[in-house]
Amino acid sequence: MTIAAPIQIKICGLSSRGAIDAAIEAGASHIGLVHFEKSPRHISLETAAELRDYAGGRIKTVLLLVNASPELVGQALHIIRPDAIQFHGAETPEWLTLVKGNSGIEIWKALGVKSPEILEASGRYLGAADRLLFDAPAQAALPGGTGTAFDWSILAQHQHRLAWGLAGGLNPENVADAIRVTGAPLVDVSSGVESAPGIKDVAKIAAFCQAARNL
């Protein structure tokens, strides 16, 4: 009998020590720190470094960047030293391969899912990314964190060639269904555990993690 690995949970867009403590207490596996000025969850590189140091080895830290310049990527990696970097823009496989080769860091790439064709095209990231994150399509100036879900059934029968995760519109009420439909090994939440844009809610973080684990 094959025993499924425990679900991995990423709480993204954190900006305080209290939110980190809540994520750890609830049993999340990853936290996400956003450096993108248009996002309500944006924090400076210096704040991100402080939060990463506070998290220490208690939970994995993922830094989110959007269409960042080579200079910013290098600066961010040097200052923050995250466990992984998540690219959430129009970054190409060639660019990710370059970053991966020069840094040795784990690379995540978020893809907005509009149709099954996106899933087929995701194979071009083999060797460039360590994990794909399937999210709702970008809206306006924000590539993610909008609370919008996509049609999960698109993922139901897809044969994944890379480690992956599910994002987009997840919350404590729907995350269990999302996992059942897609078989996602990792779920990523941001606005779904907030009391206001950019403000994490401790009770919602706990409820989300419990719902994701208790299938």
Give the Cα separation of 14 and 198 in Å (integer).
8
How high is the pLDDT of residue 8? 98
Contacts by 76-84 with C-beta closer than 8 Å and gap 24+?
76/35, 76/45, 76/48, 77/103, 77/105, 79/45, 79/46, 79/48, 79/49, 80/33, 80/45, 80/48, 80/49, 80/52, 81/49, 81/52, 82/33, 82/52, 83/30, 84/30, 84/60, 84/108, 84/130, 84/131
pLDDT value for 4:
61
63 within a domain of the structure (yes/no): yes
* 7, part of any domain: no
DSSP 8-state secondary structure symbol assigned to residue 115: S
Is pTM beyond 0.95 here?
no
Provide the pLDDT for residue 5. 77
Instruction: Count how many domains the chain has.
Output: 1
Q: Can you list the alpha helix ranges (DSSP code H) found in the chain?
A: 17-26, 45-55, 70-80, 93-103, 116-121, 175-182, 202-213
pLDDT at 1: 32
In a domain, 1, yes or no: no
8 in a structural domain: no
Q: How far is CA 19 from CA 24, 42, 100, 153, in A?
A: 9, 15, 29, 32
- Residue 40 domain-assigned (yes or no): yes
Q: How far apart are CA 131 and CA 66, in angstroms?
A: 16
Q: Please tell me the predicted confidence (pLDDT) of residue 207.
A: 98
pLDDT at 120: 82
| pLDDT for the residue 2 | 39
The values of phi and psi at residue 30, to 5°, are -140, 150
User: Does a structural domain hold residue 6?
Assistant: no
C-beta of residue 189 within 8 angstroms of C-beta of residue 175? yes
| The pLDDT of residue 3 | 42
The domain in which residue 33 lies consists of 17-213
Q: Which pLDDT tens digits describe the chain residue by residue (215 residues)?
A: 334 678 999 999 999 999 999 999 999 999 999 999 999 999 999 999 999 999 999 999 999 999 999 999 999 999 999 999 999 999 999 999 999 999 999 999 999 998 888 888 899 999 999 999 999 886 555 554 556 788 898 898 888 989 999 999 999 999 999 999 999 999 999 999 999 999 999 999 999 999 999 87
Q: Residue 82 belongs to a domain with what CATH number? A: 3.20.20.70
Which pLDDT score is estimated for 149?
A: 82
